[in-house]
Amino acid sequence: MMGVKRLGLLPCLLVVIVLGALLELTRTWQLLIIAGVVGGLLAKSFRAAALSGFLGLIIAWGVYFLAHYASMPTNFALAFFHLSMFLAIGLLLVGLLGLLSALLGYFVASTLKRQAK
């Protein structure tokens, strides 16, 4: 981990958003853990890791929802009307998934950094 530059909140957030959006295209939501872990590994601080993981995956899923809305606005609006609470809970759970995976990455990076000293 010595050669990897640690990043602040905004760069980590962008990494998580882009990686999360790309991994979402695989249609396997479990791969979003990778985006959170990578964001946590690159984070300079605990706060940057937590916020980038949580907000990054929520934004990535929001972009995914907007893409569905753009392709099928009537169907998405109907689904949102009937399942709005499910979608809100889903966004919260994805945020928590990002938070936990980013913190896992941050603690792994901190442990590796501590062992390198």
CA distance 83 to 40: 32
Structure-token pair, residue 80: 């949102």
Residues 6+ apart with CB under 8 A from 46: 103, 106
Contact between 63 and 14 (Cβ < 8 Å): no
Instruction: Tell me what pLDDT residue 100 has.
Output: 95
pLDDT tens for the 117 residues of the chain, in order: 456 678 889 999 999 999 999 999 898 889 999 999 999 999 999 999 999 999 999 999 989 888 888 888 888 888 778 888 888 898 899 999 999 999 999 999 989 888 876
Q: Is the pTM of this model over 0.85?
A: no
Structure-token pair, residue 39: 């964001």
Give the residue carrying structure tokens 């882009």. 18
